Structure 1
Amino acid sequence: MERSHFTMHIQRFAGVLTTVALTMAELITGAIGGSATWFEPGMGACGVESGENDMVVAISAQIYDSGKHCHERMRVQYKSKTIEVTVLDECPNCDATHIDLGQAAFEKLADKNLGLIPVTWEFI
């Protein structure tokens, strides 16, 4: 009896892992609705220094995946404005759909005093 109970829990756990893996795969293959904040660039997790005028983005740890997306390009849209940015950093406090734009990139979309804006983003 305990073995079947244990097996049932393992099967549920495997199902959850499969769902998470599928969800993460979906996140990186199409346009995602999420949110964006801004940061002052510097030395990023991808090992590249970026400056205040660079069009860069930090992505969540889940998507960053130990640097898998370093130097990839992303398209970000807010209202009628669209920009392209390069992944150069990780945002450890961001949830999966939240991105952290370099200040210059954020200001191309909105006033930085807004702090947080809803965006759509995708890898290109």
Structure 2
Amino acid sequence: MPSFAQILIALGAAGGALAAPFANTTAAAVTTEQRSAAQTFTGDITYYQPGLGACGETSSDSETVVALSPAQYDGNCGKTITITKDGKTATAKVVDKCPSCASGAIDVSSTVFQSLADMSVGRTQVSWSFN
């Protein structure tokens, strides 16, 4: 029969082994979050007519707003992004989800689009990141 001291040592070792995965998971989540904040995305930009967005906010075309692809949308309502095209930049607030957008692609109000490219282009490539 094991002694009381042996049981305590075994429990201590088991507790350390159980705690380690949780500590590593938390550290990994923070690292992933930090990487997302600094990540630059590249994709198509198009424009749409804003209204009641997936974030529950009603926006107009005169506002600087953006709809993100499903890959980048979750948890980002209300955040702003900076969009860059040929040395021009624009900032837009996340208010909607663009279900048909590929990862990295964004759909913006015409106010944002025309600050970066001529409206007649309709679709072009940009890079962007969360602020």
The TM-score range, normalised by the shorter chain, is 0.7 to 0.9
CA-CA distance at 1:26 after TM superposition: 5.5
CA offsets, 1:7-48, max 9 Å, x none?
xxxxxxxxxxxxxxxx9x866531122110100111110001
Aligned to 2:125: 118
Q: Could you tell me which runs of 5 or more consecutive residues in structure 1 were left unpaired when the two chains were aligned.
A: 1-22
| TM-score, scaled relative to structure 1 | 0.74
Choose between structure 1 and 2: higher strand proportion.
Answer: 1
CA-CA distance at 1:90 after TM superposition: 0.1
SS in 2 for 1:97: coil
- The residue type equivalent to 1:93 in the other structure is S
Aligned to 1:41: 50
Aligned to 1:6: none
Greater radius of gyration (CA): 2
Aligned to 1:9: none
Aligned to 2:73: 64
SS in 1 for 2:56: coil
Q: How many residues align?
A: 101
CA-CA distance at 1:80 after TM superposition: 1.5
Contact preservation (8 Å) 1:76, 1:121: yes
Dislocated runs of 4+, deviation >4 Å: 25-28
Q: Could you tell me which runs of 5 or more consecutive residues in structure 2 were left unpaired when the two chains were aligned.
A: 1-31
Instruction: Find 1:94's aligned residue among 65, 77, 101.
Output: 101
- The residue type equivalent to 2:39 in the other structure is G
**Using a 3 Å threshold, how does the CA distance of structure 1 residues 117 and 27 change in structure 2: closer, same or farther?**
farther
| TM-score, scaled relative to structure 2 | 0.71
Aligned to 2:85: 78
